[in-house]
Amino acid sequence: EIVLTQSPATLSLSPGERATLSCTASQSVGSYLAWYQQKPGQAPRLLIYDASNRATGIPARFSGSGSGTDFTLTISSLEPEDFAVYYCQQRSDPLTFGGGTKVEI
Amino acid sequence: EVQLLESGGGLVQPGGSLRLSCAASGFTFNNYAMSWVRQAPGKGLEWVSSISGGSTSTSYADSVKGRFTVSRDNSKNRLYLQMNSLRAEDAAIYYCAKGKYQLPKAYYFDYWGQGTLATVSS
């Protein structure tokens, strides 16, 4: 099983600042990594797939990068609605998620 | 518009059973793998099970293998999860999720339902 480790666990920032979230895999996943956003009381939402492709309707301020074992989700300028928990996920069997990064004000 | 609506959650005693259901609409259901993902209260996401569009392939997390069974009825656009021998650690919100690609495996999840809560307690 591939273990995904996300850091930091919590990121305290202000609106307008840049957010950089990290996801490290225990072994190479190639470019097969996704990022999801989850707000309290809501289901997760797909943001990024295949490391760097934005899902339908996702604003350009969200970008993903990386390959192999090290991946980054960047939010270029935080909007109030971006404060949430973010999860990475790899697609090899069994599918696994990281533990999440909470982006808070 | 893609919609996924889960039902069937509730309170059950340890060792008991629940059957979750997910009603899908807004896409060609039998073309996509479907999955169940759960989230224990205050915890992260855990993939539980997936099933291919034609039900020819299923997969399970080790934590539920042998106790849970995923199935689907493409004539009704419904996904199911039969959960037997439930344990306290199975308590969670269970989400139904649609695979992003028209492929036998789910890979990524582009649409999610709002979830149904399963509580396992005596």
The CA distance from A40 to the nearest CA of chain B, in Å, is 10
Residue A105 confidence (pLDDT) above 90 = no
Mean pLDDT along residues B45-65: 96
Give chain B positions within 8 Å (CB) of A101.
Answer: none
Query: Residue B37 and residue B96: Cα distance in Å, rounded?
Result: 7
Among the listed residues B77, B118, B67, the one whose alpha carbon sits nearest the alpha carbon of residue B98: B77
Q: Which residue of A has its CA nearest to B95?
A: A43
| Candidate from A49, A97, A99 with C-beta closest to B47 | A97
Residue B106 confidence (pLDDT) above 90 = no
Alpha carbon of residue B72 to chain centroid: 10
Among the listed residues A98, A93, A44, A96, the one whose alpha carbon sits nearest the alpha carbon of residue A71: A98
Mean pLDDT along residues B89-102: 96
Does residue B8 sit in helix, strand or coil? coil
Best B2, B37, B107 member to test A by mutation, with max A CBs in 10 Å, is B107
Residue B80 confidence (pLDDT) above 90 = yes
Give chain A positions within 8 Å (CB) of B92.
Answer: none
Q: Which residue of B has its CA nearest to A47?
A: B110
Query: Distance between the two ends of chain B, CA-based, in angstroms?
Result: 40
Query: Residue B33 and residue B103: Cα distance in Å, rounded?
Result: 7
Residue B104 confidence (pLDDT) above 90 = no
State the SS3 of A28-62: CCCCCEEEEEECCCCCCEEEEECCCEECCCCCCCE
Inter-residue contact B66 to B8 (CB < 8 Å): no
| Candidate from B45, B62, B105 with C-beta closest to A87 | B45
